[in-house]
Amino acid sequence: MPRVRRIVTSRSGGVSPAPYDSFNLGDHVGDDPAAVAANRRRLAAAAGLAPEHVVWMEQIHGATVTAVDGPRTGPVEACDGLVTATPGVAVAVLVADCVPVLLADAGAGVVAAVHAGRVGAAAGVLRRAVERLVELGGDPGRTDALLGPAVCGACYEVPAQMRAAVESRLPGSAVRTRRGTPGLDLRAGLARQLAGLGVAGVVTDPRCTAEDRELFSHRRDGVTGRQAAVAWIEP
């Protein structure tokens, strides 16, 4: 059976200056492009891959999921999910509070990386990713999902109307924050959605980006970097 590999990065280990210090992998946040490129090369080297074999997205908070079958030197345009059945090609998602989701059916040799922020999660980006996984031979009953670090429900305060709108499309996400105000726990809603889609194993990384200063958080810091979650099938 093919071996699935996954990486979730943190702030540490890179070359970017403050406020992107130090392992910022986002090339759209105002950081020095040379520093971002150096950080991405470090990530690829740690994975044992050539830089062009780590495929990035132009994330737009939508529900488009694109299949890739080979290395790329630039990001895949206008999508929030990538799926591949090509060994040695890693799919990557960038986040700083949104939920990074990594899907893998090792038996079929298919992996996906999904950017599930509030808008995309409510629009069904994760459901679409599971559909694309199936199109490439994956089976939800064999699929494992990792919900990576994200802002937690205790910290993610939103207006009551917004919470209701998201809950109507992503049941299980409505919560109250630590302050007793309306909030969203996107990982809870996404885990429930995955179970409804028949996904066999769902693991949630409990870390909150807003609370853990080893992680980037746009909600906490405003101008900041992005960490990545990456998945691939070993060649």
74, exposed or middle or buried, with CB in 10 Å at 0-12, 13-18, 19+? exposed
Tokens of 32: 């020095």
**Residue 53 phi/psi, 5° resolution?**
-90, 0
**Number of separate domains in the chain:** 1
Tens-of-pLDDT digits for all 235 residues of the chain? 779 999 999 999 999 999 999 999 999 999 999 999 999 999 999 999 999 999 999 999 999 999 999 999 999 999 999 999 999 999 999 999 999 999 999 999 999 999 999 999 999 999 999 999 999 999 999 999 999 999 999 999 999 999 999 999 999 999 999 999 999 999 999 999 999 999 989 999 999 999 999 999 999 999 999 999 999 999 8
Q: Return the CATH number at 215.
A: 3.60.140.10
Angle, CA 17 vertex, CA 14 and CA 23 arms, to 5°: 25
What is the span of the domain harbouring residue 183?
4-233
Q: What is the pTM assigned to this prediction? A: 0.97
Of 113, 107, 207, residue with least CA distance to 151 = 207
Alpha helices in 170-210 (DSSP H): 186-196
